[in-house]
Amino acid sequence: MPITAIHARYIYDSRGNPTVEVDLTTEKGMFRAAVPSGASTGVHEALELRDKDKEVHHGKGVLKAVKNVNEQIAPALLSKLTKFGANAILGVSLAVCKAGAAHKNMPLYKYIAELAGTKEVILPVPAMNVINGGSHAGNKLAMQAEIKKRYGLDATAVGDEGGFAPNIQDNKEGLDLLKSAIGAAGYAGKVFIAMDCAASEYYKDSAKKYDLDFKNPNSDQSKWKTGDEMLKLYKSFVEDYPIVSIEDWFEQDDWDNWTKGLSAVNIQIVGDDLTVTNPKRIEMAVRKKGCNCLLLKVNQIGTVTESIEAANLARKNGWGVMVSHRSGETEDTFIADLVVGLAAGQIKTGAPCRSERLAKYNQILRIEEELGKSAVYAGIKFRNPQAA
């Protein structure tokens, strides 16, 4: 597959921050890929390259990464992430994968399945953000009606990932709201709850405790919780609500509590900041029995090949795999093809609100239409969709 040209530029992601887009040209045409970016990032994930010029885009510019693609990666197709930035490498990697599919005259998801050794492609269960923080907006979903009733019209603002942002005072209140809305919509027993705790964001390393009031600069230190107290809280949530999955419930290096927690509950425990799609971190989590599901983010590791290897490593050890977006997304739909091609069974790509989130769901609908009667949906087998 001879590549005739590679060109990068900067565009804007869903939060209005610069990101990298790459055009790769072969005899089959031009293939374009755009790179997402996270707001809550693990300290162990591959590093983006930002310009750090405070006078331009508040230091978040990506002109250095763009220059690396155009002047160094393009001529040599090198892959030294620390030098060029994971955002530069990933843009090229995604575009190369799309071009490879075209050269084999295959849909992208089938090409990914071939690369991964997947025997049967599977449509994923969506893990949709319903409640998150962010800026003001609204729509007419049933959930909005429930939020309006309790919190008023302004509470139907949506966050970075399309979820609602009511003025909820504690976590239990949010779970009560979700449980009530699921019941009111007639989906009790059919729709379940997953939590992304992002515990590294509110872990106080100096005290080795968790501050659930971390947004308050004057939070009461006497109310900070130990790992044991957090686990007791999580177990009460699992007992009282239809929770099937919890992500990043402890700080990314708080291994003792990850291990203790996994043996204490019988649900999916997802590692994001814990594993950062990195084989070394995955292997460590396997050894320490820290979690049982990998959150797969292509920009955490930097290339499609390494992402596939991470997914296969996780499954080899009996884990589930959930393919994920980032909070700073683009209209690129690559992860929709990725989740189907890997037969991962789960995708986390935001609420059915905001076009950069819906683009992925719409691509899955197109894939389902193309598969026709041969389409297989993961359903209740989402944790191990390839099981007999």
- Nearest-angstrom CA–CA distance, 67 and 376: 43
Same domain, residue pair 209 and 252: yes
pLDDT digits (tens, 9 = 90+) for 239-278: 999 999 999 999 999 999 999 999 999 999 999 999 999 9
Half-sphere exposure of 9 toward its Cβ, with a 13 Å CA cutoff? 6
Phi, psi (deg, nearest 5) at residue 71 = -105, -20
pLDDT digits (tens, 9 = 90+) for 295-342: 999 988 889 999 999 999 999 999 999 999 877 778 899 999 999 999
Strands (E), the chain: 3-12, 18-26, 29-34, 125-126, 134-135, 158-159, 193-196, 203-204, 209-210, 243-247, 268-271, 293-296, 320-324, 346-348
Task: List residues bridging with 158 in a β-sheet.
Answer: 135, 164
On whether 337 is known to bind a ligand per the annotation, the reply is: no
Residue 266 has what pLDDT? 96
Q: Which of 40-49, 150-159, 182-191, 217-226 has the lowest mean pLDDT?
A: 40-49
Same domain, residue pair 78 and 210: no
Q: Coil, strand, or helix at residue 366?
A: helix
Same domain, residue pair 165 and 26: no
Question: For the chain, what is the largest distance between any 2 Cα atoms, rounded to a whole number of angstroms?
Answer: 65
Q: Which two tokens stand for residue 132?
A: 């998150």
Residue 64 has what pLDDT? 86
Final residue in a domain of this structure, among 76, 105, 134: 105
Higher pLDDT, 367 or 170: 367
Higher pLDDT, 76 or 122: 122
The total domain count for the chain is 2
Residue 217 has what pLDDT? 86
111-116: average pLDDT:
98
Question: C-alpha angle 91/304/159, rounded to 5°?
Answer: 65
Residue 78 has what pLDDT? 35
Same domain, residue pair 257 and 137: yes
Q: What's 276-288 look like in SS3?
A: CCCHHHHHHHHHH
The answer to the question of residue 360 being in a domain is yes
User: Above 80 in pLDDT, residue 155?
Assistant: no
In this prediction, what percent of the chain has a pLDDT beyond 70? Answer: 83
Q: Which of 21-25, 135-139, 300-304 has the lowest mean pLDDT?
A: 135-139
Same domain, residue pair 166 and 19: no
Which domain, by its residues, includes 312?
A: 125-381
**Catalytic residue IDs:** 161, 297
Higher pLDDT, 287 or 45: 287
Same domain, residue pair 262 and 349: yes
Place 12 in a pLDDT band, splitting at 50, 70 and 90. Answer: confident
Q: Which two tokens stand for residue 362?
A: 């719409």
Higher pLDDT, 132 or 270: 270
- Nearest-angstrom CA–CA distance, 226 and 232: 10
pLDDT digits (tens, 9 = 90+) for 338-381: 999 999 999 999 878 778 888 999 999 999 999 999 999 999 99
Q: Are 281 and 294 in contact (CB under 8 A)?
A: no
58-86: average pLDDT:
71
Question: What CATH code is carried by the domain that includes residue 19?
Answer: 3.30.390.10
Q: Which of 9-18, 82-91, 106-115, 232-241 has the lowest mean pLDDT?
A: 82-91
Residue 135 has what pLDDT? 30
Q: Are 344 and 364 in contact (CB under 8 A)?
A: no
Task: List residues bridging with 8 in a β-sheet.
Answer: 22
User: Above 80 in pLDDT, residue 168?
Assistant: no
Write down the pTM of the prediction: 0.79
On whether 228 is known to bind a ligand per the annotation, the reply is: no
Residue 159 has what pLDDT? 63
Same domain, residue pair 329 and 374: yes
Same domain, residue pair 179 and 98: no
Q: What's the mean per-residue pLDDT of the chain?
A: 85
Same domain, residue pair 15 and 164: no
Place 55 in a pLDDT band, splitting at 50, 70 and 90. Answer: low
On whether 196 is known to bind a ligand per the annotation, the reply is: yes
Final residue in a domain of this structure, among 105, 135, 163: 105
Residue 165 has what pLDDT? 66
User: Above 70 in pLDDT, residue 43?
Assistant: no
Question: What CATH code is carried by the domain that includes residue 257?
Answer: 3.20.20.120
Phi, psi (deg, nearest 5) at residue 384 = -150, 70
Residue 136 has what pLDDT? 28
User: Above 50 in pLDDT, residue 139?
Assistant: no
